[in-house]
Every structure is written in C-alpha cells, then in structure tokens.
Amino acid sequence: MSKRVMLIEDEPNIIEAISFILSREGLSVDTHSDGTTANDKLRASPPDLLILDVMLPGKSGYDILRELREEADTAELPVLMLTARGQSRDREMAERAGVSAFMTKPFSNAEMLEQVRALMAETS
C-alpha cells in the first residue's frame, strides 16, 4: 500500500508541481486549500505525512500545526512546512509549534523529494 501525503496549499502551481513530483515517487497525494477546514479534512483521512503552507485562507499553517500537536491522534504526524517568507522568525514560530521540517519557497524538486523521503523514513 502506498504512503499517503496530504498537501495543504492554496497556490495552484505549487499544488500541481508537488503533486506531480510525489505521485511520480509512488506516493498518494491528497490536496486541500482552505485553512479553516484543514484539520477536519486531516481527521477524516489521516495521512502519513503533511505538507503545510504557512499562509492559507481562513487559518494560518501555524494555527493548524498547533491544533494538530494538541490532539493525540495527530501529535506525532510528520509535518513539512512551506513558506514564501524565509525569515528566521518564521522558522522559529514553526519550530515552537512543533514542525518536523521547514522549507522556503521556491524550492527545487530534488530538495522537496529529499525532505519527503527523510520524513517518511522516520515514520517507517
């Protein structure tokens, strides 16, 4: 059975690129673009890995991550956070919220795959 990745991102070009890269790697990719309903979607169908954008409509990635870490079912879920703003303050906020890994946009396909493989290896 293939591993499942949930991508919560609101930029169509990034959704398409990441979905393509990960599907080619043999992963099943679900996408969602609304921060307000993201945690409901995650609870309904928990993935093996979450790729989460910081800036989303309705609710920030930081808030979504904090809520995930407070629930027993999702407290250990590996989360790769993406942001267009690579300032150290953003990284610190993500680390305080419990992120597993942090990546600044734009990123290379190889960089994305390397990070996903590393996080998936930790859960195996």
Nearest to 18 by CA among 101, 102, 106: 106
Cα within 13 Å of Cα(97), Cβ side = 25
pLDDT of residue 55: 94
pLDDT of residue 124: 67
Nearest to 36 by CA among 7, 8, 14: 8
Residues 75-95 pLDDT 10s: 999 999 999 877 888 889 999
Fold classified for 4-115: Rossmann fold (3.40.50)
Q: Is the per-residue pLDDT at 122 higher than 90?
A: no
Where do we find the tokens 């027993």? 72
3-state secondary structure (DSSP) of residue 118: helix
Count CB neighbours of 89 within 10 A: 8
pLDDT of residue 1: 62
